[in-house]
Amino acid sequence: MYQTLRQIAKTGIVSEPAPQPDETLRRIDQRLGAVILKHFGRALAIRHVDAGSCNGCELEIHSMNGPHYNLERLGIKFVASPRHADMLLVTGPVARNMELPLRRTYDATPDPKLVVAIGDCGCSGGIFGESYASCGRVANVIPVDVAVPGCPPTPLALMQGILTAISAARSSRT
Amino acid sequence: MIDLPIQTVPVPGAMPAFRSTTEVGTLRAVAEKASAQKARLVALWGSDETTRGGGFALHIALAFRSGLLWLTLPLAREHPRYPCIADIFPCANRMQRAAYDLLGIHAQDSPDHRKWVRHRAWPGGVFPLRKEFAIGTSFAPSDDRYAFVQVQGEGVHEIPVGPVHAGTIEPGHFRFSIVGEKILRLEERLCYKHKGIEKLFETMTLAEGAKLAARVSGDSTVAYAWAYAMAVEGASGTEPPVRALGLRGILLELERIANHLGDLGYLANDVGFSFGFFQFWRLKEDLLRLQGELFGHRYLMDQVVPGGVARDLPREQALRLVSGLERIQSEAIALKAIYDDHAGAQDRFIMAGQVPQELAEKMGLAGFAGRASGIMRDLRIDFPIPPYQQAAVRMGLHTRGDVAARVSVRFEELFESMRLVQTFARELPPGEILAPVGNCMAGKCGIGWVEGWRGEVLIALETADANRIHRAHAHDPSWQNWPVIERAVIDNIVPDFPLINKSFNLSYSGQDL
């Protein structure tokens, strides 16, 4: 126990400042009103859905929960069921075998809800594209609010995408 | 080299591999002899040879003490079939079913003909890996019934879990049959992530395939990229420079370190000791940042390329890597002492998810999980190619085969990999980092066989004309290890499943392809 406490004290706090939202990541106009966003901004529940990634994006989602990025301090946490979620974080091209589970997860998430597509595959289908086995980008299957490119995107880019989704749009995308 | 009644020819390349084409009628006799000689089945796959004037072919890769045997058995164009070998090598079961779903080649007398890769994306009777099948073809979703084995009896009930899981994990379905909290049976259904990787390879040139190989399983990107590069180099007669091989060794061991750091953190988290998660993920993040600075990518993607590596590591950067690792190492040593002394964590680790050695041998349990069950196999030690030749890798080993044993082997491998990176970085030979990859004729073959952090990764490559790919089979050790988890959880309680599962941490993407 002494060693554990000593290690905690020695480590201190390593969390770093969070990034600012980035409007260029937004794919469709902000669907939610200011009142809802105010609440989401303080307590956002995310359900992650891997729809067919190579598992690279998952590594960075895990990192986001680590001490340097410490997503939970922003009131944002991952939940175990879509029924508890405000936002879906979707990785991968959508494998055709995951098309139905993804749609069902989306339908099970109560309104109002947001979707953030993660990674080059989530944004465009990436190297896997569209084929007999892949539906391509996430937006081909469910509506996507914000898309974060990268292979995989860094934890900071992921946080930026999430924060953009819950910020009021400054300028409407045309 | 191998005591079997077949003619073999060497497969050119870095690893000792031999190839033989033989009658399908000899398959069972060969498999039985191989099993008696303690050879293990590394992979089983099929190919369509109709564009080369044949029918179909079944391929199996067997690992002997002296190297890898790649056995090819031509099958007829009409009703292609071969005798089932899953009774000899149990891990063949799912591979045989996958070969049927993708190519329509049939394992005769198999007790299990259920589909495996095919869910609802394409209908039965359609085989996507056949050459006549166009990759862009899509179908209306088909019926997706699947006969799980049912357990009956008083008080028995089922818990279906997934494909969408409660944590940040890849998708797959687990069907638990339980009494109270105790697991009587677990049945996995995978391949939700099937995204046509093997078909995609066949639309690519040898150069283009490298990027795809690096994305078969993101957490093993270096292992796959190296295996793919090794296969292309063998097929094209390319000799990568010695400096590139030293750098590949550094990259592969860094990948092992990063994965073990992350999983050791999660293993503590799964027993309610979140201190371990935050400490190890702090160390992992420090390493990822260093990797990002030195190699331009936090996970080292696309660093290993056919012919060598993409980026050099100048001397002062190599020294930065060494000192960065020394810092992480001293902290990890302190954390290991805390783990070892933590009664609550050890109580959960010890005897959870046990895989006895006999079961591990029978099922072909691969990689560090195999070594935690007393299976003394590691490609870096059994077939040491540069840079491992000079480094004399020390094997992490345990015999109890439980979560605690896998934690122990992970710690051993973590520290050994740190030693290896430091050795390789200090002794990097001078010279070029990339050799030009020559033109490759049709009909060449190559083998890539690499001890990734999870276990042995195999790429079996055959070339077409114009530097294109005729067939590339990527094999992840998860194929072997997933069925073992079904056995490891029996008689454990459901709440220990996440812990047992994480102690293996298998790839879904690498299995589903």
Q: Which residues from A are below 8 Å from B281, CB to CB?
A: 62-63, 65-67
Q: Are residues B283 and B381 in the same domain?
A: yes
CB pairs under 8 A between A and B: 167
Q: What percent of chain B has pLDDT over 70?
A: 100
Contact check, Cβ <8 Å, A53/B509: yes
Subunit contact B341:A101, Cβ cutoff 8 A: no
Optimal mutation site among B101, B120, B168, interface A, most CBs of chain A within 10 A: B168
Least Cα separation, residue A40 to chain B (angstroms)? 21
Note if the bond before B387 is cis, omega within 30 degrees: yes
What's residue A174's pLDDT? 38
- How far apart are the CA of B286 and the nearest CA of chain A, in angstroms? 9
Contacts of B390 (CB under 8 A, 6+ apart): B427
Residues B474 and B328 placed together within one structural domain of the fold: yes
pLDDT surpasses 60 at B132: yes
What does the mean pLDDT of chain B come to?
96
**Which of A18-22, B184-188, B203-207, B332-336 bottoms out in mean pLDDT, i.e. has the lowest?**
A18-22
**Taking CB atoms and an 8 Å limit, are A62 and B507 in contact across chains?**
no
- Find the domain containing B45 and state its range: 9-108
CB nearest B279 (choices: A11, A65, A133): A11
> Does the beta-carbon distance from B193 to A78 stay under 8 Å?
no
pLDDT digits (tens, 9 = 90+) for A118-166: 999 999 999 999 999 999 999 999 999 999 999 999 999 999 999 999 8
Which of A7, A51, A56 is opposite residue B334, by nearest beta carbon? A7
pLDDT, position A41: 74
Contact across the interface for B171 and A50, Cβ inside 8 Å: yes
Residue indicated by tokens 């198999």: B110
Residues B102, B213 within the same domain: no
Helix (H) or strand (E) holding B469: strand B469-475
Q: Which residues in chain B have Cβ-Cβ distances shorter than 8 Å to A119? A: none
**B223, pLDDT greater than 90:** yes
pLDDT (0 to 100) of residue A172: 45
pLDDT value of residue A169: 60
Q: Mean per-residue pLDDT for B453-474?
A: 97
State whether B58 and B204 are in the same domain.
no
From A119's Cα to the closest Cα of chain B, the distance in A is 12
Cα distance between residue A109 and residue A86, in whole Å: 7
Shortest distance, CA A173 to any CA of chain B (angstroms): 31
Measured in Å, how far apart are chain A's first and last C-alpha atoms? 58
Please report how the helices B315-341 and B403-426 are oriented relative to each other, as an axis angle in degrees rounded to 10.
Answer: 160
What does the pLDDT look like over B283-308, one tens digit per residue?
999 999 999 999 999 999 999 999 99
Asked if A101 lies within 8 A of B164 by C-beta distance, the reply is yes
- The answer to whether residue B130 sits within a structural domain is no
> Quick check: A14 and B282 CB within 8 A?
yes
Decide if pLDDT at B224 tops 80: yes
Taking an 8 Å cut-off on Cβ atoms, the answer to whether A11 and B191 are in contact is no
| Chain A contact set for B192 (CB, 8 A) | 52, 95, 97-98, 101
Cα A98 from Cα B119, distance rounded (Å):
10
Q: Verify whether the Cβ–Cβ distance B218 to A152 is below 8 Å.
A: yes
What pLDDT, on the 0 to 100 scale, is given for residue A170?
Answer: 54
CB within 8 Å: A58 and B170: yes
How far are the Cα atoms of A147, B8, B188, B513 from residue A55, in angstroms, in the given order? Answer: 17, 38, 19, 12
Q: Is the pLDDT of residue A27 over 90?
A: no
CB contacts, 8 Å: A132 with chain B: 121-122, 128, 133, 135-139, 196, 199
Is the model's pLDDT at A99 over the cut of 90? Answer: yes
Distance in angstroms (rounded) separating the CA atoms of residues B243 and B230: 15
Is there a single domain that holds both residue B92 and residue B214?
A: no
Q: Do A4 and B166 touch (CB under 8 A)?
A: no
pLDDT over threshold 50, residue B142: yes
What dotted CATH number matches A29-165? 3.40.50.12280
Q: Which two tokens stand for residue A61?
A: 């989602």
Please judge whether A98 and B193 are an interchain contact, meaning their C-beta atoms are less than 8 angstroms apart. yes
The pLDDT of residue A171 is: 46
Condensed to tens digits (0 to 9), the pLDDT of residues B8-43 reads: 999 999 999 999 999 999 999 999 999 999 999 999
Enumerate the residues of chain B whose CB falls inside 8 A of the CB of residue A62: 168, 262, 281
Residue B27 belongs to some domain of the structure: yes
Mean pLDDT over B206-228 rounds to: 98
Q: Which of B75, B36, B82 is nearest to B57 (CA)?
A: B75
- Considering only CB atoms, which chain A residues are within 8 Å of B338? 3-4, 7
Q: Is the pLDDT of residue B74 over 70?
A: yes
**Does residue B278 lie within any of the structural domains?**
yes
Q: A interface mutation test: which of B143, B161, B195, B502 has the most A CBs within 10 A? A: B195
- Residue spans of the domains in chain A: they are 29-165
The answer to whether the Cβ–Cβ distance between B275 and A8 falls below 8 Å is: yes
Please identify, among B108, B128, B150, the residue that sits at the C-terminal boundary of a domain: B108
**Has residue B34 been placed in a domain?**
yes
| CA B170/CA B497 separation, integer angstroms | 15
Query: What share of chain B has pLDDT > 90, as a percent?
Result: 96
Would residue B143 count as lying in a domain?
A: no
pLDDT value at B4 more than 80: no
Does some domain include residue B225? yes
Contact B196 A133 (CB under 8 A): yes
Give the mean pLDDT of B372-401: 95
User: For residue B135, which residues of chain A lie inside 8 Å, CB to CB?
Assistant: 131-132
Alpha helices, DSSP H only, in B364-402? 367-372, 379-382, 388-391
CATH number for B217: 1.10.645.10
- What does the H/E/C string look like for A79-130? CCCHHHCCEEEEECCCEHHHHHHHHHHHHHCCCCCEEEEEHHHHHHCHHHCE
Reported confidence tier of residue A168, pLDDT bands at 50, 70, 90? confident
Indicate whether B341 and B487 sit together in one domain.
yes
Which phi and psi angles does B9 have, rounded to 5°? -125, 145
What residues contact B366, with CB distance under 8 A and at least 6 apart?
B377, B454, B455, B456, B477, B480, B481
Question: CA A162 to CA A148: how far, in whole Å?
Answer: 9
Cα-based torsion angle of the residue sequence B472, B473, B474, B477 in order, rounded to the nearest 10 degrees: -160
Preferred mutation among A55, A63, A109 to probe B, highest tally of B CBs within 10 A: A55
Give yes or no: residues B245 and B344 share one domain: yes
The pLDDT of residue A29: 80
The CATH number of residue B63's host domain is 3.30.460.80
Q: What is the pLDDT of residues B331-378, one digit of tens each?
A: 999 999 999 999 999 999 999 999 999 999 999 999 999 999 999 999
Question: What ipTM, to 2 d.p.?
Answer: 0.94
Q: Considering B53, B76, B108, which residue would you say is the last residue of a domain? A: B108
What pLDDT is recorded for position B2?
63
Last residue of a domain, one of B61, B76, B108: B108
Mean pLDDT of B491-501: 95
Contact assignment for B128 to A133 by CB distance below 8 Å? yes
**pLDDT, average across residues B46-58:** 96
Residue B158 belongs to a domain: no
Least Cα separation, residue A162 to chain B (angstroms): 16
Please tell me the pTM assigned to this model: 0.96
Evaluate whether residue B442 is within a structural domain: yes
Taking an 8 Å cut-off on Cβ atoms, the answer to whether A58 and B139 are in contact is: no
For tokens 């040879």, the residue is B49
Instruction: Give the count of domains, chain B.
Output: 2
Residue with tokens 């009142």: A35
